[in-house]
């Protein structure tokens, strides 16, 4: 009898517990999905156009990012929905041109900050110029700028020219054997050797070896892996915690990260302990360093890593993109005009001065157009709105929202450019056919106080290395590189070798 009562009691208790659990689950789910539905269709971002699925969930955006196609999808979303698109539940993408660049990236207050989910502090825990807070960014940027001034650039001229000559010599050795050359690899070897020489007082021996060092290969791989793990972390608080614990806090990963960091740290320490034979990025900075204007030793290390990553692959990408574009059948006329301009003005790298190169109008237009069609930094540079919100393009954006001008979507937008997909240097030369183009929408080096610190150096390098190639070689794209530009994007372009046949230009011609 008592057993029967106990059973009934037990049944009752377990039934009520099950009911309670179900009720709670339904309640939590209703609240959660109610909130998701509210945010998507009635919340403050619901007035911005975009696909409903992207307003409801991060998953479509994370998926297109993981497969390296998000930049292309965003471009088509802007063509369909206009200058502002809600690309995620809490992210707005702009292709609004000059006005949006000014509102999001300029000095003007209120100023959104770099999105901390995207910009991570390096392994030594010391913020560099990219990840520092506003006050430290201004301090570091002011100090570092001395190494990038016009005066400083003049001092780098002999160094830059010697690397351009070395690049030509190494390529000529390969050309004389009749084989094809991977231009992308050689351009990367050159820009890494240049940056090594400018940041550490010596090249990295890559042109000499004709190979990218394992350190460089690890850095390249890190962009794709980093994109994947960032997406997993962005999915939810739980996945973020799991990745943090299992991956970034694992001993194996930390050791590997330190090994990579060591590569720059030890070279930086060596440079700080000696005076290089030529003026480099630190010469002026060290000469002027005093009191509060100093960088700490950790800041030297962090920024050295940044220079090696930011100031190398980008320039090589711009140049490889240009070589590809100039050797398309429909762009041959542009290549011939460029050859006439360069070969008409100089006969060898020795003849060149950085100043005289900067006066070549057609080359300037060619590089501008290359940076528009194939920007080395094609993906969004996300910023987070201040808690009180802010106005962009006449629209109020609430606080804590991710906003960005999407470079690729902007530079190739039909609202800003006629024939946006085509390579047309004449649009930069006042050709009336392109009078309605919004050239000020093109900001491949970003805009405002956090724009590219190395812009001027990048321009000198691009002009010099392009001129060196034009003066010395006639290039033919190999068949296997015909569709080279069809690339996935993991923050940067995922590039295959750019195979070319090189024929040395006869000096008598």
The binding site for ligand HEM (CB under 6 A) comprises 129-130, 141, 306-307, 310-311, 314-315, 318, 376-377, 381, 444-446, 450-454, 457-458
**Closest separation in Å from C-beta 119 to ligand HEM:** 7
Give the residue with the Cβ less far from ligand HEM, 114 or 327.
Answer: 114
**Closest separation in Å from C-beta 318 to ligand HEM:** 4
**Closest separation in Å from C-beta 141 to ligand HEM:** 5
Give the residue with the Cβ less far from ligand HEM, 40 or 319.
Answer: 319
**Closest separation in Å from C-beta 257 to ligand HEM:** 20
DSSP strand pairing (91-94 vs 402-405): parallel
**Closest separation in Å from C-beta 422 to ligand HEM:** 21
**Residue (of 335, 447, 314, 424) closest to 372 by Cα position:** 424
Give the residue with the Cβ less far from ligand HEM, 204 or 453.
Answer: 453
Task: Report which residue's Cβ sits closest to ligand HEM.
Answer: 454
- The Cβ of residue 431 has, within 10 Å, a number of other Cβ atoms equal to 14
**Residue (of 167, 207, 142, 210) closest to 469 by Cα position:** 167
- The Cβ of residue 336 has, within 10 Å, a number of other Cβ atoms equal to 11
Q: Which ranges in 348-415 belong to alpha helices (H)?
A: 354-357, 361-373, 407-411
- Tokens, residue 47: 């007035």
Give the residue with the Cβ less far from ligand HEM, 408 or 502.
Answer: 408
> DSSP character for 248?
I
26 burial via Cβ count (<10 Å: 0-12, 13-18, 19+): exposed
**Closest separation in Å from C-beta 494 to ligand HEM:** 16
**Residue (of 421, 439, 413) closest to 77 by Cα position:** 413
Give the residue with the Cβ less far from ligand HEM, 168 or 462.
Answer: 462
- CA–CA separation, 218 and 225 (whole Å): 10
* Contact predicate 263/199, CB 8 Å: no
Give the residue with the Cβ less far from ligand HEM, 88 or 315.
Answer: 315
Residue with tokens 């550490």: 200
**Closest separation in Å from C-beta 58 to ligand HEM:** 21
Beta pairing partners, 490: 492
State yes or no: 189 annotated in a binding site.
Answer: no
- The Cβ of residue 428 has, within 10 Å, a number of other Cβ atoms equal to 20
Estimate to the nearest angstrom the gap between the alpha carbon of 180 and the chain centroid: 29
Residue with tokens 């100043």: 355
Give the residue with the Cβ less far from ligand HEM, 417 or 493.
Answer: 493
State the binding site for heme: 452
State the binding site: 452
């Amino acid at each position: 009898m008592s057993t029967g009562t106990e059973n009934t009691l037990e049944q009752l208790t377990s039934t009520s517990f099950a009911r309670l659990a179900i009720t709670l689950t339904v309640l939590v789910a209703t609240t959660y999905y109610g909130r998701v539905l509210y945010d998507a269709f009635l919340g403050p971002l619901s007035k911005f156009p975009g696909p409903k699925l992207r307003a409801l969930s991060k998953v479509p955006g994370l998926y297109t990012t993981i497969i390296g196609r998000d930049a292309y999808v965003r471009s088509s979303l802007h063509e369909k929905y206009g200058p502002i698109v809600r690309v995620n539940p809490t992210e707005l993408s702009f292709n609004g041109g000059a006005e949006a660049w000014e509102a999001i990236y300029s000095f003007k207050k209120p100023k959104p900050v770099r999105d901390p989910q995207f910009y991570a502090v390096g392994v030594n825990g010391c913020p560099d110029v990219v990840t520092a807070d506003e006050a430290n960014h201004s301090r570091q940027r002011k100090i570092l700028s001395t190494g990038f001034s016009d005066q400083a650039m003049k001092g780098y001229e002999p160094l830059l020219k010697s690397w351009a000559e070395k690049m030509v010599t190494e390529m000529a050795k390969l050309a004389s054997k009749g084989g094809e050359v991977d231009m992308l690899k050689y351009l990367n070897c050159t820009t890494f050797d240049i940056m090594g020489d400018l940041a550490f007082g010596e090249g990295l021996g890559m042109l000499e070896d004709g190979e990218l060092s394992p350190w460089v290969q690890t850095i390249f791989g890190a962009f794709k892996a980093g994109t994947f793990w960032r997406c997993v972390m962005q999915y939810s608080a739980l996945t973020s915690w799991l990745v943090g614990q299992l991956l970034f806090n694992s001993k194996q990963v930390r050791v590997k990260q330190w090994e990579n960091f060591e590569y720059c740290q030890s070279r930086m320490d060596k440079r700080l302990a000696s005076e290089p034979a030529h003026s480099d990025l630190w010469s002026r900075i060290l000469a002027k360093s005093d009191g509060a204007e100093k960088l700490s030793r950790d800041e030297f290390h962090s920024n050295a890593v940044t220079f090696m990553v930011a100031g190398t692959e980008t320039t090589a990408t711009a140049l490889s993109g240009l070589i590809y574009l100039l050797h398309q059948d429909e762009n041959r006329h542009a290549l011939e005009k460029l050859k006439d301009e360069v070969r008409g003005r100089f006969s060898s790298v020795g003849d060149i001065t950085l100043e005289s190169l900067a006066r070549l109008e057609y080359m300037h237009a060619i590089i501008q157009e290359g940076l528009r069609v194939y920007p080395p930094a094609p993906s969004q540079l996300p910023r987070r709105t201040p808690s009180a919100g802010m106005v962009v393009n006449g629209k109020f954006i609430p606080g804590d929202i991710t906003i960005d001008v999407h470079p690729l979507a902007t530079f190739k937008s039909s609202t800003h450019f006629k024939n946006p997909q085509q390579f047309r240097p004449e649009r930069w030369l006042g050709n009336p056919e392109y009078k309605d183009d919004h050239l000020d929408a093109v900001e491949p080096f970003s805009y405002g106080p956090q724009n590219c610190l190395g812009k001027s150096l990048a321009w000198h390098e691009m002009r010099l290395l392009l001129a060196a190639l034009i003066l010395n070689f006639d290039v033919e794209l190999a068949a296997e590189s015909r569709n080279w530009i069809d690339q996935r994007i993991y923050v940067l372009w995922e590039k295959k070798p750019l195979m070319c046949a090189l024929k040395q230009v006869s000096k008598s011609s």
